[in-house]
């Protein structure tokens, strides 16, 4: 079946120009007079011409693809944080005329799991989201593929990163609880080796001390392997069994907070009447549980969009700048926090 789609030759013929001139206008290259440019663009519109992406990529020595890599356990309905981040990169990519290729990999490095678009170098750049083995990043760099990291850092690999201001977020959470009158504030979480979790803990600790409250290690439960609801449940059960006294909890993220609320309910401890709780991330579920969760809203789409902009800029520049960008969170007060019971 013949392909009757208009070609650049058809555009040139309609505009009354050489094919090379029409190509310059379509690809926004070189100098063309305003009058000729107008004729070519009108011809493009009239004919409904769309450039052949493959041919254009070859001409530009570019794939026009960006890879997005995330751990398979983080790309789920239960913890949809990175789904939103991915959407941010997708929407921003359209502004820069890139396609996004998504794949998931195990957290631990396996050479056989290195994405095919990295092995075959069929992307111009890669965005790595969340905690992954540094081996995946090095695999991209070894192929001379530009990389940007979201919600993690790889200091040895020297790649740009886009992160949440986790310390500031925890500061807002703790100050909110202190303003309500809480003094015995616990912290629950997991995967304590993750920089974001560690920073949220540091923000919690520093804010207690800067407000004249004693930091008590008995109120910290961070020995769980992950950051899902089960980890929050288990961390809170350990806290309750320790008999440590507390009137509020700062959870390392919303999924952990939801698991923590389940544990409190099993012990007939009401939220927020007996214990107030604050999460982090503002995932969609946080406003649909009972009580609705007070949390730190992270502009997840903006994390992705910012990373894409940095990547696009790097691809156009001869210099590789290793930047560190922080996105500020916002405290969202809902029903899971109140004054401490007397």
DSSP secondary structure of 115-133: -HHHHTT--SEEEEESS--
d(CA 130, CA 37): 45
Identify the structural domains of the chain with CATH numbers, from first to last.
8-51 (1.10.260.40), 65-164+300-328 (3.40.50.2300), 166-298 (3.40.50.2300)
Contact assessment for residue 26 and residue 8, using Cβ atoms and an 8 Å cutoff: yes
Give pairs for 133-140: CB < 8 Å, separation 24+: 133/107, 133/108, 133/109, 134/109, 135/109, 135/111, 136/69, 136/105, 136/109, 139/111, 139/114, 140/67
Q: What is the pLDDT of residues 276-332, one digit of tens each?
A: 999 999 998 999 999 999 999 999 999 999 999 999 999 988 777 788 999 999 999
Point out the residues of the chain with pLDDT beneath 70. Answer: 1-3, 52-61, 76-79, 342
d(CA 281, CA 112): 33
Beta partners for residue 253, in sequence order: none
Q: What is the pLDDT of residues 111-121, one digit of tens each?
A: 999 999 999 99
* pLDDT at residue number 3: 59
* pLDDT at residue number 11: 87
Contact assessment for residue 117 and residue 65, using Cβ atoms and an 8 Å cutoff: yes
Give pTM, 2 decimals: 0.79
Q: What is the CA radius of gyration of the chain?
A: 25
d(CA 284, CA 282): 6
Contact assessment for residue 341 and residue 247, using Cβ atoms and an 8 Å cutoff: yes
Contact assessment for residue 161 and residue 314, using Cβ atoms and an 8 Å cutoff: no
* pLDDT at residue number 89: 97
* pLDDT at residue number 317: 83
């Amino acid at each position: 079946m013949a392909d009757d789609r208009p070609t650049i030759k058809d555009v040139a013929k309609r505009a009354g120009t050489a094919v090379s001139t029409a190509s310059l206008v379509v690809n926004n290259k070189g100098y063309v007079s305003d009058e000729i440019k107008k004729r070519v663009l009108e011809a493009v519109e009239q004919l409904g011409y769309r450039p052949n992406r493959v041919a254009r990529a070859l001409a530009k020595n570019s794939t026009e693809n960006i890879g997005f890599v995330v751990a398979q356990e983080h790309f789920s309905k239960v913890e949809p944080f990175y789904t939103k981040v991915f959407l941010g990169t997708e929407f921003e990519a359209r502004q820069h005329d890139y396609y996004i290729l998504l794949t998931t990999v195990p957290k631990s490095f396996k050479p056989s799991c290195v994405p095919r678009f990295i092995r075959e170098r069929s992307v111009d750049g890669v965005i790595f989201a969340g905690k992954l083995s540094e081996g995946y990043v090095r695999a991209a760099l070894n192929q001379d593929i530009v990389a940007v990291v979201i919600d993690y850092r790889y200091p040895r690999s020297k790649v740009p990163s886009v992160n949440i201001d986790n310390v500031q977020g925890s500061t807002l959470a703790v100050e909110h609880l202190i303003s309500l009158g809480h003094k015995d504030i616990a912290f629950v979480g997991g995967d304590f080796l993750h920089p974001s979790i560690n920073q949220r803990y540091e923000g919690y600790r520093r804010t207690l001390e800067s407000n004249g409250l004693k930091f008590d290690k008995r109120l910290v439960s961070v020995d769980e392997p992950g950051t899902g609801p089960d980890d929050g449940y288990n961390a809170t059960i350990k806290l309750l069994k320790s008999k440590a006294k507390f009137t509020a909890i700062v959870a390392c993220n919303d999924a952990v907070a939801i698991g923590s609320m389940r544990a409190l309910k099993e012990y007939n401890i009401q939220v927020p009447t007996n214990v107030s709780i604050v999460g982090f991330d503002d995932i969609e579920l946080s406003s649909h549980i009972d009580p609705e969760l007070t949390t730190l809203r992270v502009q997840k789409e903006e994390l992705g969009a910012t990373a894409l902009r940095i990547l696009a800029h790097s691809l156009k520049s001869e210099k590789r700048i290793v930047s560190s960008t922080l996105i500020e969170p916002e405290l969202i007060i809902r029903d899971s926090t109140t004054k401490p019971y007397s």
